[in-house]
Amino acid sequence: MRLGRISTRQQLVVITVLGALLRFVGINQSLWHDEWVTLVVVEKSFGQMLSSLARLEASPPVYYALLWVWGHLFGFGVTTSRLLGVLIGIPLAPVMYGIAKGLTKSHQTGMIAAACAAFSPLMVWYSQEVRPYGLLVLLTAITFLAFVHLITEEPTRRWIVIWTIASALALGTHFYAIFTVLPQAVWLLIRYRRRREILAAVNLIALCGLALVPLLTSERSHLAFSYITGTPLSTRLSQIVPQFLLGVSAPSHTVLKFAGYGIVGTGILLLAFRGTRREQRAGGAMALLAAASFALIMLVAAFVTDTVVTRNVLGLWVPLAVAVAIGLGSIRYRLAGTGLTLALSGIGIAIVVAIASTLTLQRADWAGVARLLMSPSQTHPPLQASNPTRGRRLVVVQAWPYFSPLRVYMPHLHDLKLPSAGTAMADVAEIDLVRILKTVPAGTPVCWWGTPCHPSSAPAPDLKRIPGFRVIDERRVQQFFVIRMRPVGRPRDVTVHTLAVALSGLSLAANRYLYEGSW
């Protein structure tokens, strides 16, 4: 290597390290509902975890088993749990390099694909989430890496084994992996229909898929997907391309959006009209596999069940990103492609930094609510959970009947099953009403990715209907409005009927109730 030149390996290391560092930007965001459910599942014993997947989750067990082992080694803290996702996301860049390089034999194209993975706001977002989607993308990318070696070289036992294991693990991570694995399997069977090793590999993957059918059937019977189907399919489909490019929570900057579209569109045009024959074949293969996967997804959505949202179809991002990278890496426009890749990477970095510095672009701030509830007011000290003889805390999350991530940050909280309307809850020393506010215009699609975009607000409570209590603090925390009340004098009894009246007619079943102390 001549002085002043950076080797290919060094370039790849630099891109991978920068991508790794980017994944730590904003990693301390609050957990949101789905991440809390994940922790609820994996904090059980291994057997209980597996049995609870069918009731609480909609994914196969591979990621949860991995997180279970990780948590028992290093703990289930928020940052610790997210660190596993970061470590899973880091190898994506070199794997994407291998796919693009294997297809085109071009180091530059491989570097562009690596940069797409390292600096993608979408990949950073899911690398920071305590959910299986980051692992799904990595395993899908490994299947494509092995697939590329199998179709561009003489198939070897090594790459057949890698493809088989990665495909089986991808299926065991997310059911939607079948839509990217199946087109690859069909391609290999057609091309190598007389190779017994390929046939055996496909049969083994099929057996792994069949083994997951009982879990899939059980989850479909236990779980409702109204949060997805409540938004029209056309709206959800229209979200996929922008979110693939700019992430799920990008700031609404028109310049960034159209600059990103322009760069990706340029890459597609370069591939289609100015690429070499090798580049066009390689990009066409990736586009064909992505199209086949998407067609399968739409068939299932039309005739079986519709759960199409961006996070479930993340496997499509891999071949589409490779195709764009091949266009930007066109041998005839290398300098322009390098410049456009730097610009696209800069856009990705800017979006990640904007999310980390803008609370409204982050996941719902349950941690901020917990900090407020545990802090002293101007006139009252914080309630001591360790001393229940002084009274109990009742927390009501209005219009939120689901699991509350507050329990991660306030471990003394427990779910309360409300008694009958006339029953009194004794010795209440603090009532905390957590009200979710309207943050977007009515009719806005539900944000299924965890950011605060609620199209409706919980009604304001009538505090005068809770006799003997007075407000000691009220404050807004992101999309929440928190009201803290303490009794005048000693702790008091509160009836369920009193609470129902105070909540302005909102059905009690529409809320989440938590308590601190012994009840």
Quote the pLDDT of residue 361. Answer: 87
User: Quick one: 199 exposed, middle or buried, by C-beta within 10 A (0-12, 13-18, 19+)?
Assistant: middle
Residue 123 · residue 57 · CB < 8 Å? no
Query: Mean pLDDT over all residues of the chain?
Result: 89
Termini Cα distance of the chain? 72
Quote the pLDDT of residue 147. Answer: 98
User: pLDDT band for position 443 (50/70/90)?
Assistant: low
Quote the pLDDT of residue 1. Answer: 33
* Average pLDDT, integer, range 269-295: 95
The residue among 425, 395, 432, 427 whose CA lies nearest residue 495 is 425
Domain ranges in the chain are 8-220+232-361, 366-516
Is the pLDDT reported for residue 218 higher than 80? Answer: no
- In sequence order, the β-bridge partners of residue 155 are none
162-166, 322-326, 477-481, range with the lowest pLDDT: 477-481
User: pLDDT band for position 277 (50/70/90)?
Assistant: very high
Per residue, the 3-state secondary structure of 265-315, as one string, reads HHHHHHHHHHCCHHHHHHHHHHHHHHHHHHHHHHHHHHHCCCCCCHHHHHH
Per residue, the 3-state secondary structure of 311-332, as one string, reads HHHHHHHHHHHHHHHHHHCCHH
Quote the pLDDT of residue 142. Answer: 98
- In sequence order, the β-bridge partners of residue 436 are 480
* Average pLDDT, integer, range 117-139: 97
* Average pLDDT, integer, range 82-89: 97
Residue 136 · residue 314 · CB < 8 Å? yes
Indicate whether this model's pTM tops 0.85: yes
Quote the pLDDT of residue 4. Answer: 43
Residues 6 or more apart whose CB falls under 8 angstroms from that of 381 comprise none
The H or E element containing residue 507 is: none
Helix runs in 128-232, H state only: 133-152, 157-171, 178-191, 196-211, 213-222, 226-229
* Average pLDDT, integer, range 86-98: 98
SS3 345: helix
Quote the pLDDT of residue 405. Answer: 87
More confident residue, 518 or 259: 259
User: Percent of the chain scored above 70 by pLDDT?
Assistant: 91
pLDDT in tens, 375-388: 876 556 666 554 44
pLDDT in tens, 42-69: 999 999 999 888 888 878 999 999 999 9
Is the pLDDT reported for residue 303 higher than 70? Answer: yes
Helix runs in 25-91, H state only: 33-42, 46-56, 62-74, 78-89
Q: Count the Cβ atoms, other than its own, within 10 Å of residue 144.
A: 27
Is the pLDDT reported for residue 327 higher than 90? Answer: yes
Q: Would you report the helix, strand and coil content of the chain in percent, each value rounded to 5?
A: 60, 10, 30
Q: Count the Cβ atoms, other than its own, within 10 Å of residue 415.
A: 11
* Average pLDDT, integer, range 142-164: 96
Quote the pLDDT of residue 498. Answer: 83
Quote the pLDDT of residue 415. Answer: 85
* Average pLDDT, integer, range 108-118: 97
What Cα–Cα distance (Å) separates residue 417 from each residue in 391, 412, 414, 455, 509? 18, 16, 10, 28, 10
Residue 335 · residue 283 · CB < 8 Å? no
* Average pLDDT, integer, range 270-283: 93
Is the pLDDT reported for residue 38 higher than 50? Answer: yes
More confident residue, 511 or 156: 156
Quote the pLDDT of residue 387. Answer: 46
Buried b (16+ CB within 10 A) or exposed e, 289-304: bbebbbebbeebbeee
Quote the pLDDT of residue 408. Answer: 87
The residue among 12, 151, 166 whose CA lies nearest residue 91 is 12
User: pLDDT band for position 88 (50/70/90)?
Assistant: very high
Quote the pLDDT of residue 48. Answer: 92
